[in-house]
Copies of this chain bind each other. A is one copy, B any other.
């Protein structure tokens, strides 16, 4: 353990990672560099500085990564209409590769030979952090305290704080939630506690980002979202930066009870786990993106995207953002998005978001052909006969030879 001189830690400023700072110093006798990022989790990051200093940390990084997060990670992912296991919008998964990238950048800047994080040995996040780190800097060492130490209960952690004089305000600063939570600009997640019984309904006071549908306004809200090359750029005509836009969508969604999710998902490490999520802006964005694609994308491109999507989602969920196969899929997805421009009008009401209108200069919707009225010859209905006849040919030959289908 003596061969590590400096380690960069993903540091939240909370109890767990504060303990980790001290534990790393003691166990590895190494210098600790802390890295704290604002990715929209909704808590001040600057206070982490004083806490790190109090723990004797000399190199402290505090970054505002919100724009980069939304622009380079969230939006590219939404271009694929990404959903994991039919439900989950990957709010936690998509933030990890950015953290991994910054950890490695800081390791390079500070000459650190290791990184560390506060993720447990049971979850997906350890995998995402570490796969990213290894992919970006193959010789990096990784210290995952939760897999190494025996401080596997809150009591032991508190005891450790006392023994090592870790400032008590960390532990008492606020009432501990019964849930394990994670938040960023895309979502907030809840696991553990009473959620460990999949039959039990989540308690209303668990949710933090959205009002309940019942408590949402009795009148629907309408918004118009503008897309350029597959990414949203304006709300109701007002252009805004990626992070600003997502933040605004979160507020709109949250106020209308939109984006709550309660699922049992399959972790990469092999177990099922119950998770609840609030993704207000993302839920709106997904529906809107599908709607603008519905009039601008070619059919076969859309279908190909739908077939590739589950695999792309799985890559991100499992922690392979920084991989050549993700990049390869992204190349295909991005190729499809140059024409995904236009506007979608959405109705937000008590938990549901509906696309009620869509228009685009790049629309492939051809009213002359689609019409039920006289189309003045734009479409020759007689073509359908040959189309059907030849598509049926293989089936007819088989049936003619006595093949049965039932």
- B365 and A266 contacting across the interface, CB-CB below 8 Å: no
Contacts of A356 in B (CB 8 A): 201-202, 262
- B371 and A196 contacting across the interface, CB-CB below 8 Å: yes
- B370 and A196 contacting across the interface, CB-CB below 8 Å: yes
Cβ contact of A331, chosen from B134, B147, B299, B331, cutoff 8 A: B331
- B199 and A359 contacting across the interface, CB-CB below 8 Å: yes
Contacts of A71 in B (CB 8 A): none
Name the segment of A39-47, A225-233, A245-253, A346-354 touching the other chain: A346-354
Q: A180-B372, A306-B86, A352-B350 are in contact. Are A199 and B345 (CB under 8 A)?
A: yes
Contacts of A298 in B (CB 8 A): 323-325, 394-395, 398
Indicate the member of A130, A363, A370 with the most B CB atoms within 10 Å. Answer: A370
Q: A264 within 8 Å of B by Cβ?
A: yes
Contacts of A87 in B (CB 8 A): 290
For the complex, what is the distance from the CA of A339 to the CA of B328, rounded to whole Å? 13
Contacts of A300 in B (CB 8 A): 320, 323-325, 394
Name the segment of A24-32, A235-243, A382-390 touching the other chain: A382-390
Q: A303 within 8 Å of B by Cβ?
A: yes
Q: A214 within 8 Å of B by Cβ?
A: yes
- Interface residues of A, count at CB 8 A: 130
Q: A394-B266, A399-B135, A399-B136 are in contact. Are A336 and B324 (CB under 8 A)?
A: yes
Q: A201-B356, A335-B331, A387-B386 are in contact. Are A365 and B127 (CB under 8 A)?
A: no
Q: A174 within 8 Å of B by Cβ?
A: no
Known: A200-B357, A263-B355, A362-B401; 18 extra A-B contacts, CB below 8 A, are: A122-B370, A131-B388, A134-B392, A196-B371, A201-B347, A201-B356, A214-B219, A262-B356, A266-B394, A270-B299, A272-B364, A298-B324, A298-B325, A298-B398, A299-B394, A329-B332, A383-B385, A385-B386
Q: Can you show 24 pairs from A to B with CB atoms below 8 A apart? A: A86-B306, A87-B290, A122-B379, A131-B395, A134-B396, A135-B392, A135-B405, A137-B399, A138-B398, A139-B400, A142-B388, A201-B357, A213-B349, A214-B220, A262-B355, A264-B291, A271-B370, A274-B370, A298-B398, A301-B325, A304-B329, A350-B350, A351-B351, A364-B398
